[in-house]
Each structure stands twice: as structure tokens, then as C-alpha cells.
Amino acid sequence: MRSPARVRAAKWTALVILVVVAVLLPVFETDPATVNVAVFTAMYVGLATAWNIMGGYTGYVSLGHAAFFGFGAYAFGLVLAHLGIQAGYEPFVFVPVAGALTVVLALVIGWIALRTRAATFVIVTIAMMFMIQLLAENLVGLTGGGSGLSFPVPPWSGDFFDTPFYYAMLVMALVSLAISWWIRRSKFGLGLLAIRDDEDKALAVGVPAHAYKLTAFMISAGLVGMIGAIYGYYVTYIYPQYAIDPLVGISLVLMVFLGGLGTLWGPVLGAVILEPAQLWLAYNFGASRLYLVFYAAVFLVVILLLPRGIVPSVGDLVKRMTARRAIGPSDTASTSSDTHTVAGVQSP
Amino acid sequence: MTLVLEAVVFGILTGGVYALMASGLTLIFGVMRIINVGHGALVILGAYLSFALLRSANIDPFVSLVITMPAMFLLGVVLQIVFIRPLKDDREALSVLVTYAIALGIEGLLGYLFTNNFVQLNAWYETASFAVFGFHIAYVYLFGFGLCLAILAAIFVVLYRTTFGSAVRATMLNRTAAQLVGVNVDRVSAIAFGIGVSTAAAGGVIFGMTNAFNPGSHYDLISRLLTIIVLGGLGSLRGAVIAAVAMLIIEDVTAVVISPVWASFAFFLLLVVVLVVRPQGLYGIRVRERI
């Protein structure tokens, strides 16, 4: 029998080990190419976790989160330019400003898009993404249009260049995870899950569905916007098709589905598995465009073989094994409780 | 004024093509409750098939439809059986991912075979034109519009005048009930998907003659098609046709009156306005299911 206290201790130990390994990574692995992969992996951990707050907990699948990612990058670049911030560590202080601006955009978009549900919502988010992309292209005076927007270039040497960005992305990933964890445990989070399971019933029992959905959307978008801001500074130059890339929006959704929709650790797992794979495919087959075919194949295999994601599937397996070992019928009953809530807090 | 009139006429003519492509998409949604994000890529695939036939065997793009439409129908049936049918739970969300993957696969494959350079389907009627009210319209727009009307009419006849059409409409209304009264919904779904994909081939030919395209063109196309079917009301054929023509007229008029760079924006802006006033679209019913 596993006592709850021991399980909790084991989970915390695992978490601490994971964070320590993540923090020390650039110290042991100094190869810039590897750190570069780590920057993008940490970025997608944050993105997928933030998306999951809306797509996983609330059940509203947004395919337009690339809009918030790109908007955050543009907002950040413009803020830096207008305030005349010098390159270096100082710009990182202004990342939350980009996040706040993205939240305002999410308020407007969410207010309209959340009038729709299910399939219509998915489509509306796609349309919104292309609207933002068109705006970035057409408002030439503000964004530079198709010729792009450049950021101040940090004065760091090639070997060290990626490291500050890795830590910035790691901080954002941890912040996203902390918020996701907190929401999961809060009354607000319960309300979101109720909306996912049955919105009309949730409304009937007094969940302020519209306010909750909009808040979740804004939190999710704000985090994505902040990550987009760091990304813009990292690549130092953005243009509309590159900053607001539909592929980014769909990649993070796939990561969440692979790891486990609506679970705390699923998005992390999905990002850690898929992003290095995606980078490897793009690096090796990018020139011939065949990497898209391989990526599509990965996509199809994941969805057709693991439609529920890794974390819930493994959670089920563990539960089935413990249930078999249990003697009394009371144990079996307690282990077969709601899969979603239990699977959500499985250790990594 | 003449310019605006010209824009309206072009809007109607090009709207016909979008109506055809969007009706395939909305038919698929109506029957299977799935969003086929790969529809744009299938249109581009259809255009490339005709392009390959034109280049290798010098077959006229319109004539090539005799080959490409049945081929694309079969492809649609296979795609439905292999990728869509296995989806059981959470169909709407998972189908978006699956069809997106299909789109990526097609884009990658076309990029590999044809490179990313822009191409266009060429034929004599593309440059030859006739005059109406003092402005010139290339024959291709007229032929394309006629073809779209013919195919749309055929779809309506099949849906409203045949036993198979009744089965399709029954499946659209209530899948379980249709199954209970003896409709083979799996077969209906596969055939409906095939029909949707073969209309994409026809749309692709006309799109490919009136626009330069490359494997990445499907993003722009699918965002427009999805906007159209939401505007018309998901699953409504009539709504899709009306929305397509209305959208294209507004886009073309905006291009003339304001600026071409804002034309697409007007397109999406109309969607926002309609959603604020009528979230279910023109002919839609309010969605009460959860995703």
C-alpha cells in the first residue's frame, strides 16, 4: 500500500530533481546547438502548458494561439523601440508589458470568439489568427509590414548567446506550470472543468461560465504573448509569416494531445518529446520539404494510436495494476474514480 | 462606379468557385461533424494534378477533371476510411488535428515533387476575353462559373432527389436515428467525404487557372473557406453558397474602393460582425454540443 504522504514526497522529490536538471543544463552542456534545442523545448513546454489552460481545462480548442505568440513578439519589439531600451538583460524586465498588451488583445478576441462553441470556436480562432497576421502585414507604419521588425541585438558572444534566453524560457515554463497547477486546485479551475464537461449544466449550477472562459482565455494568451516576446528578442528579427506561423499554433496543440489533454504534466511531456523531434526533422529534411511529410506521419500515428495522450493512458495502466493487486472491493472502487482528475496529478 | 460594378461581377464569378469549394467542406462537416482543415490542401492537390496532366500529356485543365475528379473521389474515400473513421471520442478536436496532418503531408509532398515556386494552369480561354458594359472578362471566369453551377446543381439534385441523398440528409440531422432506421452511416460518410474531396479537385482547377499557386497556398485558402462556412452556418449548403458569393463581392469591392491589401481583412471583418450579431451564422442552428 502506498501512503499518500509518501507519494506526495516522491512527487516533490521528482519535481525538484527535474527543476535542478533543467537549471543546470547549460552548465554541463555548453554546445550552443544543444542549448538552442533546449531554448525551443523550454519555449514549447511553456506554450503547451499555457494553451492547455484553455484547450485542456476549459475544453475550448484554439488553433489561433500563434496570433498571441506573434502579437507578443511585435508588442515587445515596439515597446523596446519606443522606450529606447538597450540590448542586454534590461529588455527582459519589459516582457510582462508585452504580456499585458496580449491580455488586452485576448479580451477583445475572446469576447467575440467565445460567443461560439465547439467547432465554430475552432474556426473563429483560425480566422482571428489570419486577421492578426494581415494586420501585421498591412499596418506598415507600425510593424514594418512585410519587411519585418528588428530587435536590439544582445552583445553576448556566440557560445553564451543562447543561455540567457534558455533561462528566460525556463522561467516562463515554470510560471506557466505554477499557474496551471494553481488553477487545477482552485475553485476557478473546478468551474473550468465543469464548463468543459457540460457548459449548460455548469451555468445552471451557478458557474459564471462566460467570465470564467474569458479569464482562462486571457491567462492562456498572456502567457503565450510573454513567451512570444522572448522568442522575438531571441531571433532578433520577425516578419508576419514567421512570427504568426500556423504551424506553431498547431504544434503546441499536438504536444498537448500527445502528452494528455487537460492534465498538468501532459503538455510538458508532449513538448519534451515532440520539439526536439521536430527540430531534428526540420534540420535533416528541411531543405526538401519532406520534413512536413514526416511530421504529418508523426501526427497521425500519435492521434490514431494514442488519442487520449500518454499521461492518461499510463495513468490507467498504473491504476489497473494497482487495482489487480488490491484485495478488497473498496480499493478497486476508489482507484477507478474519474480518470481525468486522477490522471492530471500523476508524477512525471 | 464602373469599377465597383466590375468588382461586383467579378465577386459573383469568383464567388461561384468558393461556393463550390465551401459546399464540399460544409457537406463533410454536416455528415460527419468534423472540420476538414485539409480541404484547402486538397484543392491545391487537385490543381497540381491537373497541372501535371497539362504539363506531361498536354491535357486541357477542364478536360483533365474527367480523370482527377474520380481519382480525388477515391482518395477521399480512402482518407475517410483510414484516418477519420477510427476516431471515436472527441471527434471534432481530433479530426482537426488529423486533417491538419493530412494538409501538412500534402503540402510537404507537393513541395518535394513540384518545389515551392509559384505555378499557374494555362489555357487559351485564360487570356482571351469578352467585353461586358465596357470592361473585359476572361472566358475562364465564365467557364469556371458555369462548371461550378453545374456541379453545385448536381450536388443539390443528388441530395434532394435521390435515396442516397435522403440517407445523407438523415445522417446530417441525426446520426444515431439514421442508423436506427437502417442507414449505413459509415458508407454514407465515406461517400460524402469522397464527394467533398472531388469538388475540391474541380475547385482546384478553376482556382489554379485564376491564381498563381504553390504548395503553401492552402493556408490562405482554408482560412477563407472556413470563414465562409461559419458565416453560412456550419453544415448548411445554402448558407455556404450565399456566404461565398457575399464574401467575394465584399472583398472585391473593398479592393476597388479602399485598397487591395485590405480586401482579405474585410472578408474576416464581416465574420466578426456576423458573429457579434448572429453567432450561429446565416443558416446555422446554435451549437449546443461540447467539443
Q: What is the pLDDT of residues A153-183, one digit of tens each?
A: 888 887 788 889 999 999 999 999 999 999 9
A123 vs B230: CB contact, 8 Å cut-off? Answer: yes
Tell me the residue range of the domain where A139 lies. Answer: 32-245
Strands B135-138, B129-132: pairing kind: antiparallel
Task: Name the nearest CA neighbour of A123 among B144, B271, B251, B160.
Answer: B271
Range of the domain at B260: 2-277
Chain A residues with CB inside 8 Å of B92's CB?
61, 118-119, 122
Rounded average pLDDT over A83-104: 91
Number of domains in chain A: 1
B187 within domain boundaries? yes
Q: Is the pLDDT of residue B155 over 50?
A: yes
- Please report which confidence band the pLDDT of residue A89 belongs to, taking 50, 70 and 90 as the band edges: confident
In a domain, residue A167? The reply is yes
- Whether B231 is covered by a domain: the verdict is yes
Cα–Cα dist B72/B80, whole Å:
12
> If we measure between CA atoms, which residue out of A246, A207, A311, A295 comes closest to residue B104?
A295
Q: What is the pLDDT of residues A31-67, one digit of tens each?
A: 888 888 999 999 999 999 999 999 999 999 998 999 9
Buried b (16+ CB within 10 A) or exposed e, A118-129: bbbbbbbbbbbb
Predicted structure pTM score: 0.85
B285 lies in some domain:
no
Q: Locate A320 and state its grid cell.
A: 489497473
Chains A, B: CB contacts under 8 A, how many? 157
Q: Which residue of A has its CA nearest to B288?
A: A117
B237 domain residue, yes or no: yes
pLDDT at A327: 56
- Distances in whole angstroms, Cα of residue A172 to Cα of each of B61, B102, B149: 52, 32, 53
- CA of A65 to nearest chain B CA: how many angstroms apart? 15
Residue B291 lies in a domain: no
Could you tell me if residue B288 is inside a domain?
no
pLDDT category at A221 given cuts 50, 70, 90 is: very high
DSSP-derived 3-state class of residue B131:
strand
Residues of B in Cβ contact (< 8 Å) with A254: 97
Count the domains in chain B. Answer: 1
Q: Is A326 a member of any domain?
A: no
CATH of the domain at B51: 1.10.3470
pLDDT score recorded for residue A301: 85
The average pLDDT across B272-288 equals: 70
Return the C-alpha cell found at B273. 460582425
